[in-house]
Structure 1
Amino acid sequence: MIDGTAVDTRPTKIMYVAEATAHAGRDGYVTSQDGQLELKVAMPPALGGDGNGTNPEQLFAAGYSSCFHNALVMVGRRSGSTVAAKVGIGPNKRRGYGLAVALSVSLPVVDQDVAAKLVDEAHDVCPYSNATRGNIEVTILLG
């Protein structure tokens, strides 16, 4: 929302569609339609699993950090930066589960005020940020 007005972040034109299929839930595997992705998935030990595979939260963290970093490069035209994502999962108040994200952004050799402006612009551009805005807590740490 800007000044109390909802901002429409839906795409006006679909330019690419990613397709993936989960087999056997959190203790199975995931594949992409183009064959580029085939991963074993498993519950992490913290949630009672054996941890012998990746999990949806790791995949989300990888996607969000990669997407946000690309948005940062796009708005800042700078290299040498990094974005790390931490995705937390836990019970919510509606008998389900929710996510929380912390993005750690490193912009070496950039003035702190300039870096903060670039991060704000990237947060406006990034599709993951637009998809999660108002739905889950996203904290951005600039270091």
Structure 2
Amino acid sequence: MEIIPGRGVELVVIGDRRAQVEERLGPPRGDPGRDPAVYATTPPLVISYAPDGTVELVEIGYSAQGGEAEASYDGVQLTHRLIDVVVAELHARGYASTPCDVGHDFHAGFSVWSMRVLWAGEVDPTAGEDDPRCVVEGVSVAPYSYFSGA
């Protein structure tokens, strides 16, 4: 699933109304009024809504299936890969980022992050049990100001 930096993904973009999203994706899993709302897509989409009911943040989780089932941008698979490798590939393509507590916020309008649920051995068979490298578990998409607070 290709991200659109600062905007979202093809299925859901910043500013869409909740009714529009649910018309396209169906109802969210669990409590329909819950925010953020989790949708049964592959990869999974987690949508945060502003008080006026419009999309303010689009998050894409990892699927562990590879290919189109992972978030990508500009030919780089973003999710379910080592975060240092993803960041290095994006920097090599000219995309600047700022480190944050759980990953990197890219000035183009997205963030790659890890909550350390996955371990390096899930994506690198040579990794030892104590390998500290992080795996990208998700991508958040919004204008850079959402991440920077500016």
TM-score scaled to structure 2, two decimals? 0.23
TM-score scaled to structure 1, two decimals? 0.23
Greater helix share, 1 or 2? 1
Which structure has the bigger radius of gyration?
1
Could you say which structure has the greater relative contact order, defined with CA pairs below 8 angstroms and 6 or more residues apart?
Answer: 2
